[in-house]
Amino acid sequence: MVERKRVIVKKKRKKRRKRKLILFAILIFFLSAVVFSAFQYWEGKKEAEERINDPERNEEMEEYANEFESAEPVDGKLNMLILGEDSADEGIPRTDTIMIAQYDADEQRAKLVSIMRDTYVNIPDHGYNKINAAYAFGGPELLRKTIVENFDIDIHHYAIVDFEGFEHIVDTIAPDGIEVDVEKRMVYTDTADGLYIDLHPGVQTLNGEELLGYARFRHDAESDFGRVRRQQQVMGLVKDELLSFSSVIKIPKVVGTLIPYVNTNMSETNIGKYALSFLTNTPKELETMRIPIEGSYWDEDHSHAGAVLEIDEAENRQALEDFLERGIRPGSDDSEVEKEE
């Protein structure tokens, strides 16, 4: 009887030691992951900051952040204004990419709306003009007001993406490039804008610079419509690459690389929070939409604005509200949006 008790006691001790070893191993793994993530984050941030040194531009971006009147997200839906900054014309910043990205963690849904830059809208205190003129007149805050005025959609945060930063982010996520099926021959050079595009049709693996050129190309019959379509396609490809198993471990470095190149009013803490949420509640697809919607616009020309896209304001406002708030895609009879990968 005594011998049996000794055996039982020994077994219990072994189990306790085994549990302690397992817990210790988990703790070591967790601490190693934290240290690795922190190292990767600061390495990415340091590398990016070494490439950027523009105090005047940093001051301007700080003013943008202070002026921006962000609303609070409703029902867990975060609306982010994404702006791709174009080269300045006589010192005036322009944006040739205007997107609203919505992330709903509860429903695990991600949506992307592209607003064409020539869309003719009412800019508060400036009258009617192309929507990208709002950014030139008053930065992201005036653009936010313009979107609220014309489409009745609240914006919670903004991100101004530096094109050079996009290239480095892509190269960090996918050092070997991202596979794209280039639909046609694309050749265009703009030395003033630093844009050199030379792509052949077919499935190819593009690096950051080439992928950016693919997304920005518009010198064909499709013009800006084709560029908007490719921009949305590229956003989906980058999202898929980022969430692939091989790229997940690079996310801390990607975030560190992204922060110096992307000017935003979102804090680094919130960036980390939403990045973690996106990883743990990953949307399966990226649902997309374009403003103006098909059949709701026509070409016009105005002396103060040049060639523009005039729109049926009520139809586009309702379509955008349906897409973001109720998940209804324009032209669909279903209650759910058609999903595009």
The β-bridge relationship of strands 109-115 and 286-291 is parallel
Q: Looking at residue 34, what is its pLDDT?
A: 43
What is the pLDDT, as a whole number, of residue 35?
A: 44
Determine how β-strand 195-199 pairs with β-strand 186-190: antiparallel
Q: Count other Cβ atoms within 10 Å, centred on residue 275.
A: 16
pLDDT tens per residue across span 15-45 = 666 666 666 555 554 444 444 444 444 455 5
Domain boundaries, the chain: 1-51, 56-326
Q: Pairing relation of β-strands 77-89 and 92-104?
A: antiparallel
CA 52 and chain centroid, separation: 21
Helix axes 208-216, 163-173, angle to 10 degrees: 130
Query: Bridge partners of 122?
Result: 128
105 contacts 277 by C-beta, under 8 angstroms: yes
Mean pLDDT across the chain:
81
What is the per-residue pLDDT across 66-85, written as a single tens digit (0 to 9) for each? 899 887 787 889 999 999 87
Mean pLDDT of 177-187: 94
Please enumerate in sequence order all residues whose Cβ is within 8 A of that of 341, keeping only pairs 6 or more positions apart, or say none.
236, 285, 286
Assess whether pLDDT exceeds 80 at residue 335. no
Question: Do residues 114 and 288 make contact, with C-beta atoms less than 8 angstroms apart?
Answer: yes
Q: Identify the CATH number of the domain defined by range 56-326.
A: 3.40.630.190
Q: Is the pLDDT of residue 279 over 80?
A: no
Reported as a pLDDT band with limits 50, 70 and 90, residue 6 is: low
Compare 219 and 87 and report the one with higher pLDDT. Answer: 219
User: What DSSP designation does 73 have?
Assistant: P
Residue 211, phi then psi, degrees to nearest 5: -65, -40
Question: What pTM value is reported for the model?
Answer: 0.79
**What pLDDT is recorded for position 32?**
44
Residue 153: strand, helix, or coil: coil
What the block records as the tokens of 100 is: 């609203």
Mean pLDDT of 92-107: 86
| Cα–chain center distance at 169 | 12
Which tops the pLDDT comparison, 195 or 147?
Answer: 147
- Helix/strand/coil for 199: strand
